[in-house]
Amino acid sequence: MLDTLSTVYATIDATFRVSTPLILCAMAGLFSERSGIVDISLEGKMLAAAFAAGSVAAVTGSAWAGLGVAILTSIALALVHGFACITHRGNQVVSGLAINILASGLTVVLGIAWFKTGGQTPSLENSARFMPIELPLAGALSDVPIIGQFYSDVVSGHSVLVYVALLSVLVTWWVVYQTRFGLRLRAVGENPLAVDTAGLSVSRLRFAAVAICGGLCGIAGAYLSISQNASFVREMTAGQGYIALAALIFGKWRPLPAMLACLMFGFLDAVAIRLQGVPMPYIGEVPVQLIQALPYVLTVVLLAGFIGRAIAPRAVGVPFVKER
């Protein structure tokens, strides 16, 4: 019985760790898409940020420096996306795709050139990473059955970036629904012409949104290379940017539901990891590939009909052309 509980707690614990980059990216995408800019380059920005964090942390030995440069790198890419889509009204999907391809190639090329380890960055000392932190009283409470154990096993013991990710959901909700900036952000994604005639600058709002998106992707990337792992590995984002985008759509472009969707994907992933090599009753050992495919199969099934019609911000993907 206690063993089962430990297993459950360990799975939930893993869920949070796996979901963190998804949640950060989903919030990033929320800002961008709510402003009317489609962003499939979450993936590329996150990858570039992961590389930047890994490199800088390896060179300076400081996780915080790594995080800072990761955020700046990702914002820079976001601004490139903005320059193409907002200033020059380019196709948003093409621009996003270009950034993904750029990030995928450039990280490996620079990695080989700088570190000569086949595209990886050097392994980091623990001091150069964001390590799990013990919350106060975690040790003392771990003996209290169920609740205390939950606190010490699940709530405590994560890297600071995991807490940042959860906090980002609340902050996103507050910004989008409670502030003037949020009101304008939602308006510009629905009807940019209305925003323009109200005397506001559509491009300034959209650039702000895209930059915030970049910042959040940067944190997600840094988490991958200097917190969850101890170095950058080529293609380490492995499609999580796209999964985050799917979660955003599941959540109908709202922060809390999007977070729940991310947690669901994270949970499936955590379960998949746990099920590997474990014989199942009646079925026997399930092939690893099948389990790993589970989250994606579920994505298709859910997208195909279980979530109902998702109504996107009306102006998403449409360049704003001011003419009558």
Partner 1 sequence: MVNEPISTAETSVPAVASTTSDSRYAIELKKISKRFGAVRANQDIDLAVSKGTIHGIVGENGAGKSTLMSILYGFYQADSGDVYINGRKTLIKNSRDAIAAGIGMVHQHFMLVDPFTVLENVMLGAEEHALISRSATDARRELLRLSDTYQLTVELDQPVGELQVGEQQRTEILKALYRKADILILDEPTGVLTPQEADQLFEVLKSLKHQGVTVILITHKLREIMDITDTVSVLRQGQMVAHRNTSDTSMQELAELMVGRALTETNHQRSTPLPTDAETRIKTNNLGVVDEHGKTRLTEINLEVKSGEILGIAGVAGNGQSKLLEVLAGISSPTTGEFMMNGHEVTRDKPMGPLKMRQLRVHHVPEDRLKLGLVKAFTAAESSVLGYLYKEKFTWRGLLQLHNIKKMCARLMEGFDVRPGNPKLKSASFSGGNQQKLILARELDKSPEVLLVGQPTRGVDIGAIEMIHQKIVDMRDGGCAVLLVSVELDEIMALSDRIVVMYEGRIVAEVNGRDADKTMLGLMMANAHTGAAA
Residues 199-218 contacting partner 1, CB under 8 A = 199-200
Using the rule CB under 8 A, is 186 a contact of partner 1?
yes
Q: Which amino acid is at 94?
A: V
Using the rule CB under 8 A, is 17 a contact of partner 1?
no
| Residue (of 7, 258, 265, 4) closest to 154 by Cα position | 7
CB of 36 closer than 8 Å to CB of 214: no
Which stretch, 15-23, 81-89, 183-191, 217-225, contacts partner 1 (CB under 8 A)? 183-191
Tokens 């859910």 locate to 302
SS3 of residue 133 by DSSP: strand
Using the rule CB under 8 A, is 87 a contact of partner 1?
no
Tell me, residue by residue from 131 to 170, as one string, x for binding to partner 1 by CB under 8 A and - for no binding.
----------------------------------------
Which stretch, 9-17, 160-168, 191-199, 216-224, contacts partner 1 (CB under 8 A)? 191-199
| Long-range contacts of the stretch 56-61 (C-beta < 8 A, 24+) | 57/124, 57/128, 57/129, 57/225, 57/226, 58/115, 58/121, 58/122, 58/124, 58/128, 58/231, 60/128, 61/125, 61/127, 61/128
Residues 90-119 contacting partner 1, CB under 8 A = none
Residue 311 CB, nearest distance to partner 1 (Å)?
9
Lookup: tokens for 83: 């320059």
The span from the first CA to the last CA of the chain, in angstroms, equals 69
Q: Which amino acid is at 250?
A: F
Residues 226-265 contacting partner 1, CB under 8 A = none
Q: Among residues 91, 104, 149, 191, which is the contact residue for partner 1, using CB under 8 A?
A: 191
Which stretch, 89-97, 116-124, 198-206, 213-221, contacts partner 1 (CB under 8 A)? 198-206
- Tell me which residues touch partner 1 (CB under 8 A): 177-184, 186-187, 190-191, 193-200, 314, 322-324
